[in-house]
A = this chain, B = another copy of it.
Amino acid sequence: MPSEQEIISTLEKVTTATLTTLLLKKGLRNVWMRGTRPISPGYPRIVGKAFTLRFVPAREDLATPESWSKPSSTRAAIEAMPEGCICVADAMGVKDAGIFGDILCARMKKRGVAALITDGVVRDIAGVRGTKLPVWCQGAAAPPSVAGLTFVNWGEPIGCGGVAVFPDDWVVVDDDGAVLIPAAFIDEICSTAPEQERLEGWIMSEVENGHVLPGLYPPNAENKARYEKTKK
């Protein structure tokens, strides 16, 4: 069983495209969080354990600027985030109220949060970019969270972009968006993913050499044998 650090260093070298293929082979077709796009170019691939946030729709008596001072506010949630976690926020896909702006993202960055993922949007996107916190979301909206959302709690099972996320699960994000790896699958994925990446790298080099696709991708017996030879 790999350590958390081994998981991270292993999966940082595996594309989310490869991970979804491996998870599909294990019967999991619904692990990619829809609407999670990087807000800046050039982020590295990031791997971490999910720290979940949950919102419900706004209600004028609950979703108020005053609610920001409550003990169970988003502010308290941020102070509970462990270093290295990936914050995954269930914003129910709401695109017209930003869950966080520059100040909250700056604090998350200070606390060592690895990334923020949401099926909603952020606000003050210029400021958020300035904090250098890596963010994957649906874009930006000026209004505060309370214009559309009521914060409920952290550390609960949530949905994000149509995917079930539980507090123990792992998340990998790159240019293709955020992929969930259920905690129960992490060991197996870590043990099979590097070999799959190596094989795909060999196939790519064959394509660059002019090889045709049928029989190569996926490889038939002959090509498998050729590939195996390259590993010696």
Contacts and interface: CB of A to CB of B under 8 A. Distances in A.
A92 to B, nearest CB: 6
- Copy total for this chain: 6
B59 A125 contact: no
Instruction: Tell me the dominant secondary structure on chain A's binding face.
Output: mixed
Interface in A53-111: 56-63, 65, 68-69, 73, 75-76, 78-79, 92, 95-96, 98, 101-104, 106-107, 110
Contacts of A198: none
A137 interface: no
A31 B146 CA distance: 13
A71 B199 CA distance: 22
Nearest to A94: B162
A207 B103 contact: yes
A152 B167 CA distance: 13
Nearest to A200: B103
- Interface range for A: 35 or more
B65 A21 contact: yes
Contact of A57 (B24, B104, B107, B162): B162
A113 to B, nearest CB: 13
Contacts of A79: 212-214
Given A61-B182, A174-B126, A144 B78 contact: no
A135 B182 CA distance: 33
A14 to B, nearest CB: 11
Contact of A37 (B16, B62, B139): B139
A7 interface: no
Contacts of A19: 142
A28 B61 contact: yes
20 contacts: A19-B142, A20-B144, A20-B147, A24-B144, A27-B61, A28-B61, A32-B143, A34-B96, A34-B141, A37-B139, A63-B164, A69-B220, A73-B214, A75-B213, A79-B212, A96-B162, A140-B177, A142-B174, A142-B177, A152-B157
Given A34-B95, A79-B212, A103-B203, 11 more contacts: A15-B126, A24-B147, A27-B60, A31-B59, A57-B164, A62-B164, A69-B220, A79-B214, A102-B204, A106-B204, A125-B175
